[in-house]
Amino acid sequence: MTTGESRLAVFYAAAGVDTGWGHVVRCGALASALVDCGWRVAFLCRTEMKGPVRAYIPESAEILSETDIEPGAVSARFWDRWPGGCDLLVMDDYALDETFEPSFRPWARRSLVMEDIPSRHLAGDLVLDPTPGRTRADYDERLPANCGFIGGSQYALLRSPFSRVIRKPLDPPKVLVAFGATDPGNHTAAVISALNGMSLEIVLGGMAPHLDDVRRLVAAQRPEAQLHVDIGAEDLATLLGGCTLAVGAGGSGAWERCAGGLPSVVFEVADNQQSVVRSLIASGAAILGAADLRLAVEAVLADQAALDTMSRAARRLCDGFGAIRLARMLTGIETRKGDHVTLRPASPEDSALMFDWQVQPETRRFAKQPVAPSWKEHGAWFSRRMANPDSLLYMIERVDGPSGVLRLDREEDDAWLVSIYIAPDSYGRGIASAALALVHSIWPRQEFRAEVLEGNAISHKLFVGAGYGKKNGLYRYHAREPADA
């Protein structure tokens, strides 16, 4: 942590007509959530993108611009601007490889890399991939052993208005048309033509290369068709709530629609969208765009039961709290004794330390399995956890290093079964209580459950003190919604 002042996060996100604005939008969402947690934030971008980038990031964010993003030159400029270093460096650009991040050490004390496809070798402390079902096992040989992995659409980084969309579809039904801010393939125009005469709400960015073409098409179809250029997050969230169906791409905007409970007809318009599109369809949140788009849209609009089912599936896939979730995980919480506690995803490098803790008599005393595992058994268990998207394994950390483990296992009804143990040398410091409070804050609207053996007085006291009530032999807790969501 930067001494004597708030923590600093520095972002680099690719942006442009061909690249689109998805990288900047999701980095801006995380930056805003970090600012809400007391951080300072800054962005690096190419000189020609400085003006447009400003619209997607917090007002307090500082912007540094470079003509060419070359690691050596940028690293030197960062050292000059912030000689004390930064607490978090966030990189979101598919063109970067594992040679980029090391050039910023030790200036950056921690790094986070954004990704959507496990197709390149990466370097960093954390990698985030919001594709549903994605686990570290998908990246295993492409990540260093000490790299933690954050996966799944509940970590999709969305701006806060999308976590509180109120569904009030209008009559006659409106169809949202959204193919990203720039839509270089001009899919927007094709959809407008195919759905001629329907009530359309079209969203596009001011830098879209085919904006004039879209304007002409919309002008010919008014008042049924309305065009919204460079619409803000609050207004877009309201627009989502009033639409019945969306037709759009499988990019970052797909998660905004899911968080708003908006059913979609989805198209894969870029290679990195393939997995997302498949997940949207498999979950029931969307149907695949058909050659006869008009027929497909009319069929869905005529089936209210299908629309309701798709809406529920969409919201199950993404709740809109991903940015808040990650920001709070990175920020941490203070214990009653002044320790600063954070959670981070476990990495393969943590396996040996976890094994050392697991075989301690203090740990086994109240474990469901009192016999300590062998190293081979522990290794097999750890590998299964790393490959299971419904099991989350966190290291509990203090400033001086790891102090325990917190695990969440998803139950059939989507509740989390929580288990926690603390390193013997960290007993009695309130670390378990702080870790529970932190995990409750990063998983809002969730039910947590815990199973505690009868004689484990310390754990009974822990869960009662954390607000859990006991029912049918299990402790239960409903996490509250974040105050700033």
- pLDDT tens across 47-73, in order? 777 888 888 899 999 998 776 667 667
- pLDDT for res 2: 41
Sheet with 111-114, side-by-side order of all strands: 62-66, 40-46, 8-13, 88-92, 111-114, 126-129, 148-151
pTM, whole model, 2 decimals? 0.89
Domains in the chain (CATH in brackets) are: 8-151 (3.40.50.11190), 161-317 (3.40.50.2000), 332-478 (3.40.630.30)
- pLDDT for res 485: 47
Greater model confidence, 125 or 480 = 125
Q: For residue range 294-341, what is the model confidence (pLDDT) as tens digits?
A: 999 999 999 999 999 999 999 999 999 999 999 999 999 999 888 999
- pLDDT for res 75: 80
Share of the chain above pLDDT 90, in %: 71
Mean pLDDT to the nearest integer, 265-289:
94
Share of the chain above pLDDT 70, in %: 97
Angle, vertex CA 236, rays to CA 282 and CA 284, nearest 5: 10
Residue 425 half-sphere exposure toward CB, CA atoms < 13 A? 8
Mean pLDDT to the nearest integer, 187-194:
97
DSSP letters, 285-308, are SEEE--SSHHHHHHHHHT-HHHHH
Question: Does residue 192 surpass a pLDDT of 60?
Answer: yes
Q: Give residue 350's pLDDT band: very low, low, confident or very high (50, 70, 90).
A: very high
Q: For residue range 20-49, what is the model confidence (pLDDT) as tens digits?
A: 788 999 999 999 999 999 999 999 888 777
Give, in order, the Cα–Cα distances in Å from 16 to each of 67, 338, 352. Answer: 13, 45, 44
- pLDDT for res 49: 79
- The residues pairing with 476 across neighbouring beta strands, listed in sequence order, are 449, 469
Sheet with 416-422, side-by-side order of all strands: 333-334, 340-345, 391-398, 401-410, 416-422, 447-450, 474-478, 469-471
- pLDDT for res 294: 97
Q: For residue range 195-219, what is the model confidence (pLDDT) as tens digits?
A: 999 999 999 999 899 999 999 999 9
